[in-house]
Structure 1
Amino acid sequence: MTRYTALIVDDEPDIRDLLEITLGRMGITTHTAADVTSAKALLGAETVHLCLTDMNLPDGNGIELVQWIQQHCPNTPAAVITAYGSMDTAIEALKAGAFDFVSKPVELPRLRELVNSALKLSEPIGNNISEPDEPGLLLGTSAEIQWLRKQTRKLARSQAPVFISGESGSGKELVARMIHLQGPRHEGSFIAVNCGAIPSELMESEFFGHKKGSFTGAIDNKDGLFRSANGGTLFLDEVADLPLAMQVKLLRAIQEKAVRPVGESKEFPVDIRVLSATHKNLYELVKSGHFRQDLFYRINVIELTVPPLRARAGDIPLLASHILQRIAQDYECEPARLTDSAIARLQTYDFPGNVRELENILERAFTLCDSDDIDATELQLGSAPVAPEEQTLSASDTGSQPIALPEGELDLENYLETIERQAIEKALEATRWNKTAAAKRLGISFRALRYKLKKLGME
């Protein structure tokens, strides 16, 4: 079993003794220092897996020591001990590179959680993301994506809230997931929630949970997103869409590290890391009063910007190849290839929808092309073609007979899906279940037929 060593820096002997006893009972060897100078000397002479430092020291402060550790011992996580209620000081320490913070008077359960999380940084996380140049979920070789991967590795070693900005479809959730996977919480849950997709009247219950019988429809107890992410990471996507009333409750839950389910009289502690993102300009929303400034500063301790796809066009061939391989696996077909002209066309396209748009373009081209090579014309860029999942059968597909609409309200999507299903069944029956012949009869490619069979659950 690995024997860990911690450095405790505090000029108060009683605090040093308390921390030494607590860490000693956890099986951790401790060294102590009463000032910044002594701490630097010990860090230079000993292997230290964790540093706990007070903010106010006789010859400096904890933030200065954190910055020094970042430069000289970057693999040693440092946590600061702050005065009660000094949230501004704690945020300043996190921005300086502190792993986390704990407030005085020190709550021992909270201290143990912090220590255990910090020491996990000394353990290997897994072969799939342990190599320093492994792209993991962020594919590409451009300077922009390499910088982004470097930043995610650095931020993974902290518990600071990170705000991920970037255009829609640029991969903000992938960045959040990489931060989670490379950090000490990688064994915990990664819970992603789109804040704009939750009805405002259900938000409190979704985030904090509810007690059985607390309102109509509450037939069981519910943990909520915060408690489901306990020990892991909660990713708040499109956080700008939260109504102001919910922003107040979210801020309190983040600051207090506790939630009160709807209908409960007590709070439940939660140990989570909060990551957030939006494609909107939060600075402008704060100025206009649509987003609370105090919440903004709490979630935006560190900002990370994801570059748009057009800024790293050199990554497109690798991304496209990866996407086409994945699509082929989904359809159980041989993978298609992009011709040189198709790659050149993609690299000059603006991609307002970023990587998500690239996926849609390639999926459409894959399902509709008749060969294994996708040419530039089959990408259908520059027009507004209908996505494969939105296509419906033409008159020729249905035998040119007029379609009678049913009486009353119409669920158009389900209605068209029913017609499509019937047409495919008839084509398959007419060709004795020969999919190649059925696709020809329907006037679509074999891949398009495979796509529709999978989508409609007809395989």
Structure 2
Amino acid sequence: MSTSPYLGQVDASGMPTASSEFGSWQQYAILVIDDEGGMRNFLGRALSSRCGAVKTAASAEDGARLVEEQHFDLIILDVSLPGKSGIEWLHELRHTGFYGDVILITAFADMETAIGALRAGATDFILKPFRIDQLLNAIGRCFDRAHLARENFVLRRAMAELSEVTELVGESSAMAEMRAMINRLAPLPTTVLISGESGTGKEVVARALHNHSPRASQPFVPVNCGAIAAELIESELFGHVKGAFTGSIGERKGLFFYAQGGTLFLDEVGELPLAMQTKLLRVLEEKRIRPVGSEREIPVDVRILAATNRKLSSAVHSGHFRADLFYRLDVMSILIPPLRERRDDVLPLARHFMGQLSAQLGVPPITICDDIMQAMRVYTWPGNARELRNLIERSLILGKFPIGCVSPVNAPALPGQAPVTLEEVEKQHILRVLDSVSGNKSEAARLLDISRKTLERKCNAWQI
């Protein structure tokens, strides 16, 4: 055992030793930039056994080329470099949208240098010579902060958009086929397009694909494309740099950043503006994003799952959706049948909602009598599982099932009667929901699990 002037204790082979508290960081990639060959070699060898990928460079210019080629979670950057200094390059990195952590190292430091490093966006500042434990501690803090930031962001979104069903519930043959398809597709990196009417549980299927995939330990980030204004969707997905547009007083990390290593779920993908469809297609093909206002592209490792309640092939023919993006998303597709075609799933779902919501509301569950069961079986559920959940919640609050709670207007037509069309059923249901919220379209859209834009389009078509 000997001691390195820079990294502390090393073993007989020259490798640095470290206490057992430092674990494996195999999911992370680190870039080391130092003009001293010995330091580059030493740090490369010290970190390669702990990290998934370690690259080294002798200058900021060489480092810039590596950053263009792949994603790095952390950069260890020497301040004094030939050509462009470390602090100068760090300023450029932050300006062009690099969101990873940067640890600056230097043998010559004063207060002015330290202040300049922090202003440039350095995460930590370490003086040479340093011990390996000191560097590993700094790296560990960076990774912990980044992990917590992503986790907190994802959890806040999950709480704000809490799904009514968090697991696949049902006993029908359609559900059995869907489970088999999910088990087959989940381990693959393939893009999947999930189709189905509003309220059928498209996000539940997307979460199941993620939870059974190798990315399950990484973030699942859902975004409703129809709920974001057209002029903001690019910044929401890709992020933006400071000063990218009026009002952008700071940088913003996009949803692709928070989904790094995991899954990004694009709900209502058919609502994306055409200009954004072009940019999404490029991301799918090249696995790179460009934050708004940035001059550089950032490599990303994200699986894309998309969902729609529209027939995208029709949108392609009408010119509202790009054909090349449709074919790129529709590598594999899952069609979720509406609840009226899965009558064997109605009662299991009702019982599931009853147990879930009674616990949330702190009220005792209600017995579902035979008459209500039969009414539930014959009702066509135009709002699908969302409508069923709302009925159970309303009944729990009232302490009983309301009289006529399952409207006979949607029951199967009697012999000799003309059947009610699906469009008329949808119209009647939407009108009832609008009436229940005093015409508030934003609230009605939330209850119907559709975007306000979709609701506006339907109301305009019905001239209401």
Q: Determine the C-alpha separation between the residues in 2 that align with 1:389 and 1:332.
A: 28
Deviation of 1:188 (Å): 0.9
Q: Contact (CA 8 Å) 1:365, 1:379: kept in 2 or not? A: no
- Residue of structure 2 in register with 1:349 after alignment: 379
Q: Is the 8 A contact 1:324 1:336 kept in 2?
A: yes
Given residue 285 of structure 2, which amino acid in structure 1 is its aligned partner? Q
Give the 5 Å matches for 1:171-320: 171-320=201-350
TM-score (norm 2): 0.53
Q: Structure 2 counterpart of 1:260, which letter?
A: R
Alignment match of 1:321 (pick from 351, 355, 368): 351
Q: Which of 160, 170, 195 is residue 190 of structure 2 equivalent to?
A: 160
Partner of 2:388 in structure 1?
Answer: 358
Distance in 2, matches of 1:160 and 1:280, equals 21
Kept in 1: contact 2:69–2:299 (CA 8 A): no
Residues in 2 aligned to 1:387 and 1:168: alpha-carbon distance in whole angstroms? 14
Shift of the 230–284 alpha-carbon distance from structure 1 to 2, 3 Å rule, reads: same
Classify 1:413/1:266 alpha carbon distance in 2 versus 1 (closer, same or farther; 3 Å): closer
CA-to-aligned-CA distance 1:173-215 (integer Å, 9 cap, x gap): 1000100000000011111111111111111111110001221
Q: Deviations over 1:313-343 (max 9, x none)?
A: 1121111011011111121111112111101
Distance in 2, matches of 1:181 and 1:160, equals 15
| Inter-CA distance 109–270: structure 2 relative to 1 (3 Å threshold) | closer
- The 2-side partners of 1:181 and 1:299 are apart by 20
Between the aligned partners of 1:310 and 1:223, the Cα distance in structure 2 is 41
Residue 298 of structure 1 aligns with an amino acid whose one-letter code is R
Q: Percent identity?
A: 44
Deviations 1:108-133 (A, max 9, x none): 979xxxxxxxxxxxxxxxxxxxxxxx
Which of residues 367, 372, 377 in structure 2 aligns to 1:337? 367
Q: Is the 8 A contact 2:381 2:387 kept in 1?
A: yes
Deviations 1:366-404 (A, max 9, x none): 2224x5xx4774445549796799579xxxxxxxxxxxx
Q: How far did residue 220 of structure 1 move? A: 2.0
Query: Which structure exhibits the higher relative contact order, with contacts defined as CA atoms closer than 8 Å and separated by 6 or more residues?
Result: 2
Cα 1:375–1:176 change in 2 (3 A) is: same
Give the Cα–Cα distance (whole angstroms) in 1 for the partners of residues 442 and 267 of structure 2: 28
Alignment check: 8 A CA contact 1:338 1:375 kept: no
Which residue pairs with 1:126 in the alignment? none
1:339–1:376 Cα contact (<8 Å) kept: no
| Secondary structure at the counterpart of residue 265 of structure 2 | strand
CA distance in 2: counterparts of 1:153 and 1:282, whole angstroms: 25
Cα-to-partner distance string for 1:100-153 (whole Å, 9 max, x where unaligned): xxxxxxx9979xxxxxxxxxxxxxxxxxxxxxxxx9711111111011011111
What stretches of structure 1 of length at least 5 have no aligned partner?
1-24, 28-106, 111-134, 393-410, 415-459
Runs of 4+ in 1 over 6 A off after TM superposition: 107-110, 383-389, 411-414
What is residue 143 of structure 1 aligned with on the other side?
173
Q: How far apart are 1:258 and its partner, in Å?
A: 0.8
Normalized against structure 1, the TM-score is what? 0.54
Cα distance in 2 for partners of 1:189, 1:390 equals: 36
Which structure 2 segments of 5+ residues have no match?
1-47, 51-67, 72-164, 410-427, 444-464
Closer/same/farther in 2, CA of residues 156 and 190 from structure 1, 3 Å limit? same
Q: Provide the aligned length of Structure 1 versus Structure 2.
A: 266
Deviation at 1:273, TM superposition (A): 0.4
Q: Could you say which residue in structure 2 is the equivalent of 1:124? A: none
Contact 1:169 1:354 in 2 (8 A): yes
Structure 1 residues 294 and 202, CA gap change in structure 2 (3 angstroms): same
Q: Given the superposition, is the C-alpha separation of residues 390 and 219 from structure 1 closer, same or farther in structure 2, using an over 3 Å criterion?
A: farther
Contact 1:308 1:354 in 2 (8 A): yes
The answer to whether the 8 A contact 1:327-1:363 is kept is yes
- SS for the counterpart of 1:337 is coil
Residues 222 and 412 of structure 1: CA distance in aligned 2, closer, same or farther (over 3 Å): closer
Take 1:366 and 1:301, find their aligned partners in 2: how far apart are those partners? 42
